[in-house]
C-alpha cells in the first residue's frame, strides 16, 4: 500500500473500531451468562473470530484461534470449564506462543488438557473438566504477575463456574494491570462476586447474569491518530468519537504520553478532540513505562524517532512474544529511516534517530497489524509503502479507508 499526504493541516473526524480487548472479554462473559446484548461490537477479525468460535463450539471438535492471542487464551479456559472436548489450534505463529502457565493452572483446577505437538504450546486437546461437586472451598492457584495478563483474565472469568470459586495469588511484579482491572470490572457488570486483598484475587462461585453492555471505541487504535496529528503540518486536529474519559482501557495512557510529542487531548461528551500544539524544548530524555500498555510501544517508538525527540522505554518484555518479535521488527524497520530502538540493557530501550527521513521506503509488517499502523503516520513526512496491508484486519479493518477519507492518497503499490 502506497501512502502520501497532499499537504496542509489534517482535519476532520476519524471513526475508530470498538475495543477488541473489551469485546472479547464481554463475549466470553455473555456466553457464560447465557444472554445479554452487546452493542458496538467491532468488525475487527479478532472479535468476529471470537463470535464465530463461541457459536460453533457446541457442535465442533476442532477450532482455530488463528493468530489471536486473546481468543486462544480465553477460549482455552472457557472451553475447559464448559466441558468441551476437542482440539484447539492456531496459526504457525500461534503455535510458537507459550500457553503453559495457563494450562498448568487449569489442570490444577480440574481441566484435562494435553499438548498435541510441543509441550507448553498449542495446539491443545481439551478433554473435559472434573472437580468434586461438593467442593465449597475456592480452588487455590498461584501465577506469576509478569506473564501475559490474558492468562490471568482467562482464569478470573471462569472463576464463578468453579464449585468453590477461585482464589488467585499473583506473585512478583504485575504487568498489564489495567487489563486485569478491565476484566474484573466487566465481570462485576455481569454479576460476579469479586474481591481483592493485595495481590490475592478472590472470585466466589455463582452464575453470571445476562447483561446489556456497549463496547467503548479502541484507545489502541486511537494511538495512531495521535501520531498522525503529531507528525502533520501545523494547525492539524482531529476528532475521535466513542472514547470515554472514564475508560477501562489502559491504552488511554496515550493521551498523557503524547503531550511531549505536541498533541493536546480534549475530552468531549462522546469522544476526544486532538490538536497539535508547539513542541516544548526537550531538556532531558524522559522515560516511559509500557508495562501496563505494551500495545502503545510501537506507536511511541516511531513518533519519537520521527520527531528526533529521544525517549527511553521500559516494560517492553512482552513484545518479544506478540504477533512477531516487535522489538526486533522495530529495530529493523526504523533503521530504514535513520531511526533506532537501542538496547541500553537492563530492560531499557531508547527510541532515537539521526537524520530521519521518509523517501519512499517500504515497511515490512511481519504479520503484525500494529507494525503497519504504527509506521503509517510517517506518510505525513513523505511517500511511504506498507507491505501486506491487509494485516490491519486483525484490529482495525477500516484503517486504510479512514486514511483515504481523511485526505491521504492511498493506493495499492505496483
- pLDDT tens string 225-262: 999 999 999 999 999 999 999 999 999 999 999 999 99
Looking at residue 317, its pLDDT comes to: 84
Show the cell assigned to 402: 479512514
- Look at residue 414 and tell me whether its pLDDT is greater than 70: no
Looking at residue 4, its pLDDT comes to: 97
CATH architecture of the domain with range 2-17+217-411: Alpha-beta prism (3.65)
Better-predicted residue by pLDDT, 175 or 126? 126
The answer to whether 80 and 126 have CB atoms below 8 angstroms apart is: yes
The arithmetic mean of pLDDT across residues 22-34, rounded, is: 97
The residues, any chain, with a CB within 8 Å of residue 334's CB and separated by 6 or more, are 301, 302, 305, 340, 341, 351, 353
Distance CA 255, CA 229 (A): 12
State the pTM of this model: 0.88
Q: Is 354 annotated as a binding residue?
A: no
Q: Is 326 annotated as a binding residue?
A: yes
Looking at residue 174, its pLDDT comes to: 83
Look-up of cell digits 491521504? 408
The arithmetic mean of pLDDT across residues 354-381, rounded, is: 96
- Look at residue 175 and tell me whether its pLDDT is greater than 80: no
- Look at residue 135 and tell me whether its pLDDT is greater than 80: no
Q: Is 227 annotated as a binding residue?
A: no
Q: Is 21 annotated as a binding residue?
A: yes
Distance CA 68, CA 264 (A): 33
Looking at residue 176, its pLDDT comes to: 77
**Residue 2 bridge partners (DSSP):** 385, 411
Looking at residue 79, its pLDDT comes to: 97
What angle separates helix 100-109 from helix 149-158, to the nearest 10 degrees?
A: 20
The arithmetic mean of pLDDT across residues 89-102, rounded, is: 94
Of the candidates 404, 264, 287, the residue with the CA atom closest to the CA atom of residue 351: 287
Q: Is 97 annotated as a binding residue?
A: yes
Domain boundaries, the chain: 2-17+217-411, 20-214
The answer to whether 318 and 334 have CB atoms below 8 angstroms apart is: no
Q: Is 295 annotated as a binding residue?
A: yes
Looking at residue 185, its pLDDT comes to: 97
Of the candidates 300, 350, 319, 349, the residue with the CA atom closest to the CA atom of residue 175: 319
Question: What ranges in 235-341 are assigned the alpha helix state H?
Answer: 254-257, 297-306, 326-335
In the chain, the percentage of residues whose pLDDT exceeds 90 is 88
Q: If DSSP codes are grouped into helix, strand and coil, which group holds residue 243?
A: coil
Confidence of residue 132 (pLDDT cuts 50, 70, 90): low
Distance CA 258, CA 229 (A): 10
Show the cell assigned to 186: 466487566
Q: Please check whether the two domains, 2-17+217-411 and 20-214, share a CATH topology.
A: yes
Q: Is 69 annotated as a binding residue?
A: yes
Confidence of residue 134 (pLDDT cuts 50, 70, 90): low
Q: If DSSP codes are grouped into helix, strand and coil, which group holds residue 389?
A: helix
- Look at residue 288 and tell me whether its pLDDT is greater than 90: yes
Distance CA 358, CA 338 (A): 9
Residues recognised as catalytic: 295
Q: Is 25 annotated as a binding residue?
A: yes
Distance CA 306, CA 337 (A): 8
Beta strands in 130-225, from DSSP E residues, in sequence order: 139-144, 166-171, 194-197, 200-203, 213-214
Looking at residue 133, its pLDDT comes to: 59
Q: Is 48 annotated as a binding residue?
A: no
Report CA Rg, the chain.
Answer: 22
The arithmetic mean of pLDDT across residues 313-331, rounded, is: 87
Looking at residue 131, its pLDDT comes to: 74
Model pLDDT for residues 328-352, shown as the tens digit of each residue: 999 999 999 999 999 999 989 999 9
CATH architecture of the domain with range 20-214: Alpha-beta prism (3.65)
Q: Is 370 annotated as a binding residue?
A: yes
The arithmetic mean of pLDDT across residues 20-28, rounded, is: 96
The residues, any chain, with a CB within 8 Å of residue 292's CB and separated by 6 or more, are 175, 176, 177, 178, 179, 250, 253, 315
Q: Is 244 annotated as a binding residue?
A: no
* Sign of the four-CA dihedral 24, 173, 312, 336: negative
- Look at residue 29 and tell me whether its pLDDT is greater than 80: yes
Amino acid at each position: 500500500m502506497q501512502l502520501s499526504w497532499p499537504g496542509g493541516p489534517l482535519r476532520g473526524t476519524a471513526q475508530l473500531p470498538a475495543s477488541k480487548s473489551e469485546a472479547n472479554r464481554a463475549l466470553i462473559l455473555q456466553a457464560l451468562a447465557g444472554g445479554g446484548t452487546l452493542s458496538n461490537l467491532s468488525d475487527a477479525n479478532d472479535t468476529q473470530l471470537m463470535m464465530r468460535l463461541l457459536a460453533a463450539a457446541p457442535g465442533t471438535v476442532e477450532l482455530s484461534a488463528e493468530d489471536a492471542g486473546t481468543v486462544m487464551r480465553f477460549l482455552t479456559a472457557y472451553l475447559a470449564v464448559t466441558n468441551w472436548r476437542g482440539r484447539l489450534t492456531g496459526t504457525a505463529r500461534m503455535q510458537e506462543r507459550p500457553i503453559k502457565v495457563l494450562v498448568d493452572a487449569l489442570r490444577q483446577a480440574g481441566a484435562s488438557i494435553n499438548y498435541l505437538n510441543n509441550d507448553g504450546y498449542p495446539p491443545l486437546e481439551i478433554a473435559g473438566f472434573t472437580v468434586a461437586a461438593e467442593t465449597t472451598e475456592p480452588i487455590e492457584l498461584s501465577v506469576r504477575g509478569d506473564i501475559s495478563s490474558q492468562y490471568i483474565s482467562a482464569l478470573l472469568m471462569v472463576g464463578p463456574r468453579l464449585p468453590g470459586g477461585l482464589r488467585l495469588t499473583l506473585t512478583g511484579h504485575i504487568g498489564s494491570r489495567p487489563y486485569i482491572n478491565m476484566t474484573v470490572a466487566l465481570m462485576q457488570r455481569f454479576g460476579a462476586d469479586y474481591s481483592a486483598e493485595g495481590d490475592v484475587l478472590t472470585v466466589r462461585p455463582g452464575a453470571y447474569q445476562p447483561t446489556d453492555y456497549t463496547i467503548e471505541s479502541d484507545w489502541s487504535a486511537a494511538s495512531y491518530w495521535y501520531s498522525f496529528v503529531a507528525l502533520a503540518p501545523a494547525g492539524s486536529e482531529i476528532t475521535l468519537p466513542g472514547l470515554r474519559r472514564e475508560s477501562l482501557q489502559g491504552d488511554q495512557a496515550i493521551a498523557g504520553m503524547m503531550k511531549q510529542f505536541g498533541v493536546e487531548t480534549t475530552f468531549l461528551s462522546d469522544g476526544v478532540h486532538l490538536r497539535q500544539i508547539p513542541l516544548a524544548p526537550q531538556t532531558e530524555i524522559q522515560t516511559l513505562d509500557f508495562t501496563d500498555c505494551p500495545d502503545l510501544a510501537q506507536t511511541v517508538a516511531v513518533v519519537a524517532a520521527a520527531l528526533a525527540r529521544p525517549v527511553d522505554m521500559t516494560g517492553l518484555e512482552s513484545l518479544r512474544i506478540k504477533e512477531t518479535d516487535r522489538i526486533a521488527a522495530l529495530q529493523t524497520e526504523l533503521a530504514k529511516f535513520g531511526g533506532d530502538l537501542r538496547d541500553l540493557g537492563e530492560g531499557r530501550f531508547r527510541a532515537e534517530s539521526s537524520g530521519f527521513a521518509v523517501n519512499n521506503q517500504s515497511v515490512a509488517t511481519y504479520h503484525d497489524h500494529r507494525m503497519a499502523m504504527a509506521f503509517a503516520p510517517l506518510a505525513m513526512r513523505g511517500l511511504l509503502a506498507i507491505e501486506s496491508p491487509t494485516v490491519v484486519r486483525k484490529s482495525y479493518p477500516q484503517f486504510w479507508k479512514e486514511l483515504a477519507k481523511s485526505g491521504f492518497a492511498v493506493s495499492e503499490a505496483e
